[in-house]
Amino acid sequence: MADLSTLNAPQRQAVLHGAGPLVVFAGAGSGKTRVITYRVANLVDEHGVAPWRILAVTFTNKAAAEMRERCGKLLPSGAQDLWVGTFHATCARLLRRYSEVIGIKRDFVIYDDADSRAMVTRVLRDLRLDEKRYEPKQVLGRIHRAKQEAIGPDKFAVHDSFTEIVHRIYQTYDERMKRSGALDFDDLIFRLVEALEKNESLRAEMDRRFSHVLVDEFQDTNHVQLRLVRVLADRHRNLCVVGDDDQSIYRWRGADRRNILDFRKAFPDATVVKLEQNYRSSARILRAAMSVVTRNVEREPKELWTENAEGAKVAAIRCDDERDEARIMVQHVRTALSEGRRLSDVALFYRIHAQSRVFEEALRAANIPYRVVGGVRFYDRAEVKDVLAYLRLVHNPDDDVSLLRVINVPARGIGKSTIDRVLDDAARAGSSTWDAIRRVIDDPAQPSATRKKLLAFLELVERLRARSSNGEGPAALVQAVLDETSYSRQLEDEDTPEADARLENLRELVGSIQDFVGDAEEPTLASFLELVTLETDADRQTEGDRLTLMTVHAAKGLEFPVVIVAGLEERMFPYRGVDYDDDPEEMEEERRLAYVAFTRAREKLVLTYARQRRVFGQLRWDLRSRFVDEIPPDVLHEIGGAASRPTWIAERGDDSYGDEPGGYLRRPFEAIAVASAAAVSHGESYVDRSDGDIVDEAGLHRGMRVRHSKFGVGLVQGVSGDLPSKITVAFPGWGTKQILARFLEPL
DNA sequence: TCCGAATTAATTTTT
DNA sequence: TTAATTCGGA
């Protein structure tokens, strides 16, 4: 059993809480996962709750796996009977189990975002709508939003001509999805909620199935997810939600912090627990993080504190430009290594992926192994998706998106005109594309070459289907796909580095299927396909001691001894898109993002900003981020010059920035850019005249007198802008020396 | 049908 | 800058 004596008071309260609703506000690094797992163990051990009646929901597979593993360690019976999973995986499982009652196909396929988009594009074309006016991305966004608000096509509100069209697209999309036997990510949750809210006996069944519901990262739930949780916990009311409104960074995906903030309104008898002791970060890092996030207006009051040491100051380093920033990053990584840390102890965060390129180049040049989290998912690579599309087609020939993806891949002479012919037929008959292909083949009025090519494709898929129904497993099947379609051979013939990389990816795909067959409880094609769409790259851990590069979003939930956050400039972080609309909510989310970034660091936090940066081919001169300026001075160690903005701005006396919320916005940055460009061309202003400002971590700066054990008393000439700083000191009789600060004693 | 030039748009992306 | 997508011509 879990040892409760190691818990602090609020942690223990959350763990021991018995029946009834409970909301836990878990500050960063406050031992949240520990509380959840101990709580589960306690329910089983002390309250005699059957493990299979406990449902724990997370957002990521990784979090689910971790929870399962840690619960398993605490429970003598292990964790296999617990229902632990992501929202999506849990819903998929329940939808399959109750597919008959709910009225959906048992072996539905799951469409990821790309598949959904392909579907929308197809609908757009079929409805003969202008793809410029109704961008698939935008339309899909509307459909997503509707589904997240639990609004079906029948309830979709029409205000104007645009929403009217979206409504039509939504309806057709929905029909096509049904016809294809497909559900998108939102459907997984929406359809289950719908069914539960409509069907009382299904609800009763769920009540029998689950007596306790736990939700992790509750601040990230959207409306349907809240509905789902509520309907699942409606009867027994044993609902425990855990989260941190300060770490809510997915508003743009439909997450609503109100779900956690207003939990007490929805459940007036809810017990509220706040975990405010941080076990992760140094006191200084914590203060820096708090100073940024406490400026938000709408947040649950929380006062994070720690017993950890003060630690080093947070370094704020001024860089010339993004290349200089990368150079300085490399220096810091080397310093960390020389201090005895491993590469995996260090992480580099940035606001947007586009920033990673320069860093990657610098790291490659410096021969430092790294990995970039995010970017293109393995299962999103074109060749992998192609092969998966074949597998999905084998599983379910009605899957139109997959069919259209591979009907001419590799090229087999089925061109646009042929495909259009098939699609016309499908539209007329209201059937799946697969059935339309059959009809076109049987139609003597069609050109014989067309019929022949289509027949060849149809027979190819049928052959693969026959193998599958003869009991060939997914591993054999994927090999068959590669052989029968001659996909690999075509790539081999290409004989280019890119083709080799693709082949390598396909080999990896085969490998991952073999792993799956070895590990899975149910090594069927269906469950492999589900796993593949519900698994992201973050779940595929890479081995080896490497530096980690990722966006701040990807960093949530992780921690590192050393964290470098790059690009701390206005417009970069806080990020400003082209269509920035001065939404204070957006600014608050940027703050929370900064809070998440800072609180990932255990011992050392380094912030860098560039005075000049090329963004999407455009040069920018932006002020250092307000998030740096807001850090209290006693926590901050300025390197490379304390002056946060070019002197000429200060001289012009219009430096209103920071005086009031939104003050920055009152200053047109175009004007700054123009003025600074002029300054640069005069060769002034951007020349660093602030050497005297450079203060090293021990408070050393130019002009100070210091003593050295060997050289005696000397005068500080300068401070290097890296960490740990090297101090240039002139010693009478010895000349000038470069010396590490720790060998010097200030006088 | 396919290739390469031109055009366009560019946060974040748990599933 | 870049990468993805689209379009036009062979």
Measured CA A739 to C1' B4 distance, in angstroms: 58
User: CA-CA distance, A253 to A270, in Å (whole number)?
Assistant: 27
Is pLDDT larger for residue A167 or for residue A499? A167
Q: Is the CB of A617 under 7 A from strand C?
A: yes
User: CA-CA distance, A708 to A715, in Å (whole number)?
Assistant: 11
Residue A540: per-residue pLDDT: 61
Q: Tell me: the pLDDT tens digits for A7-47? A: 999 999 999 998 999 999 999 999 999 999 999 999 999 99
User: CA-CA distance, A645 to A612, in Å (whole number)?
Assistant: 11
Q: CA separation (Å) from A728 to A653, A725, A739?
A: 34, 10, 6
Taking the C1' atom of every nucleotide in all shown strands and the CA of A88, the nearest one is B15
Instruction: Please report which confidence band the pLDDT of residue A532 belongs to, taking 50, 70 and 90 as the band edges.
Output: confident
Residue A122: per-residue pLDDT: 86
Alpha-carbon torsion, ordered A571, A572, A573, A577, to 10 deg: 60
Taking the C1' atom of every nucleotide in all shown strands and the CA of A615, the nearest one is C1
Please name the residue whose C-alpha is nearest to the C1' of nucleotide B1.
A415
A16 SS3 class? helix
Please name the residue whose C-alpha is nearest to the C1' of nucleotide B8.
A132
User: CA-CA distance, A269 to A23, in Å (whole number)?
Assistant: 11
Q: Is the CB of A705 under 7 A from strand C?
A: no
Measured CA A324 to C1' B8 distance, in angstroms: 30
Residue A717: per-residue pLDDT: 66
Q: Is the CB of A614 under 7 A from strand C?
A: yes
Residue A498: per-residue pLDDT: 72
Check pLDDT > 60 for residue A399: yes
User: CA-CA distance, A681 to A683, in Å (whole number)?
Assistant: 5
Measured CA A123 to C1' C7 distance, in angstroms: 22
Instruction: Report residue A142 as tokens.
Output: 């509307």
Q: What is the DSSP string of A237-249?
A: --EEEEE-GGG--
Instruction: Report residue A552 as tokens.
Output: 């701040």
Across A611-657, the runs of DSSP E, i.e. the strands, are 613-615, 618-620, 636-639
User: CA-CA distance, A82 to A39, in Å (whole number)?
Assistant: 13
Q: Is the CB of A416 under 7 A from strand C?
A: no
Check pLDDT > 50 for residue A615: yes
pTM (two decimals): 0.82
Pair type for strands A547-551 and A239-243: unpaired
Q: Tell me: the pLDDT tens digits for A122-180? A: 888 888 888 778 888 889 999 999 999 999 999 999 988 888 999 999 999 999 999 99
Instruction: Please report which confidence band the pLDDT of residue A729 belongs to, taking 50, 70 and 90 as the band edges.
Output: confident
Measured CA A618 to C1' B7 distance, in angstroms: 18
Instruction: Report residue A476 as tokens.
Output: 């054999």
Q: Tell me: the pLDDT tens digits for A277-336? A: 999 999 999 999 999 999 998 899 999 999 999 999 999 999 999 999 999 999 999 999
User: CA-CA distance, A524 to A40, in Å (whole number)?
Assistant: 31
Q: Which amino acid is present at A702?
A: R
Q: Which of A89, A28, A42, A92 is nearest to A62 (CA)?
A: A89
Check pLDDT > 50 for residue A675: no
Is pLDDT larger for residue A54 or for residue A379? A54
Residue A423: per-residue pLDDT: 86
Q: How many CB atoms lie within 10 A of CB A469?
A: 9
Question: What positions of strand B are covered by protein, i.e. any atom < 7 Å from a CB?
Answer: 1-2, 9-15
Pair type for strands A601-610 and A735-740: unpaired
Taking the C1' atom of every nucleotide in all shown strands and the CA of A411, the nearest one is B1
User: CA-CA distance, A746 to A584, in Å (whole number)?
Assistant: 46
Measured CA A607 to C1' C7 distance, in angstroms: 45
Question: Interior CA angle at A370 toward A365 and A375, to 5°?
Answer: 110
Measured CA A614 to C1' C1 distance, in angstroms: 8
Check pLDDT > 60 for residue A650: no
Query: What are phi and psi for residue A530, nearest 5 degrees?
Result: -65, -45
A497 preceded by cis ω (within 30°)?
Answer: no
Contact of A667 with A693, CB cutoff 8 Å: no
Q: Tell me: the pLDDT tens digits for A197-218? A: 999 999 999 999 999 999 999 9
Is pLDDT larger for residue A474 or for residue A496? A474
Taking the C1' atom of every nucleotide in all shown strands and the CA of A121, the nearest one is C5
Q: Is the CB of A361 under 7 A from strand C?
A: no
Taking the C1' atom of every nucleotide in all shown strands and the CA of A131, the nearest one is C6
Check pLDDT > 70 for residue A535: yes
Measured CA A416 to C1' B1 distance, in angstroms: 9
Contact of A397 with A105, CB cutoff 8 Å: no
Residue A232: per-residue pLDDT: 96
Residue A644: per-residue pLDDT: 43
**Residues of A forming the active site:** 32-33, 216-217, 247, 600
Residue A22: per-residue pLDDT: 97
For the segment A669-681, the average pLDDT, to the nearest whole number, is 36
Is pLDDT larger for residue A453 or for residue A728? A453
Q: Tell me: the pLDDT tens digits for A518-528? A: 888 888 888 89
Q: Which of A57, A22, A28, A36 is nearest to A263 (CA)?
A: A22
Where b means 16+ CB within 10 Å and e means fewer, A15-25 reads bebeeebbbbb
Question: What positions of strand C are covered by protein, i.e. any atom < 7 Å from a CB?
Answer: 1-4, 6
> Mean pLDDT across chain A, nearest whole number?
85
User: CA-CA distance, A590 to A571, in Å (whole number)?
Assistant: 11
Measured CA A691 to C1' C2 distance, in angstroms: 36
Residue A107: per-residue pLDDT: 87
Residue A439: per-residue pLDDT: 92
User: CA-CA distance, A430 to A426, in Å (whole number)?
Assistant: 6
User: CA-CA distance, A89 to A536, in Å (whole number)?
Assistant: 12
For the segment A593-604, the average pLDDT, to the nearest whole number, is 97
Residue A736: per-residue pLDDT: 64
**Which strand (E) or helix (H) includes residue A171?**
helix A161-179
Measured CA A414 to C1' B8 distance, in angstroms: 29
Instruction: Please report which confidence band the pLDDT of residue A647 belongs to, taking 50, 70 and 90 as the band edges.
Output: very low
Q: What percent of chain A is predicted at pLDDT more than 90?
A: 57
User: Considering only residues 341-360 of protein chain A, which place a Cβ less than 7 A from any atom of strand C?
Assistant: 357
Q: Which amino acid is present at A20?
A: G
Q: Is the CB of A616 under 7 A from strand C?
A: yes
Residue A464: per-residue pLDDT: 94
Please name the residue whose C-alpha is nearest to the C1' of nucleotide C1.
A617
Can you list the alpha helix ranges (DSSP code H) found in A22-102?
A: 32-45, 61-74, 87-97, 99-102
Residue A725: per-residue pLDDT: 57
Contact of A747 with A714, CB cutoff 8 Å: no
Least confident of A193-197, A442-446, A522-526, A576-580: A576-580
Residue A616: per-residue pLDDT: 87
Residue A696: per-residue pLDDT: 53
Q: Is the CB of A252 under 7 A from strand C?
A: no
For the segment A83-105, the average pLDDT, to the nearest whole number, is 95
Helix A474-484 with A382-395: angle, nearest 10 deg? 110
Measured CA A614 to C1' B10 distance, in angstroms: 13
User: CA-CA distance, A120 to A142, in Å (whole number)?
Assistant: 11
User: Considering only residues 126-145 of protein chain A, which place a Cβ less than 7 A from any atom of strand C?
Assistant: 131
Residue A738: per-residue pLDDT: 67
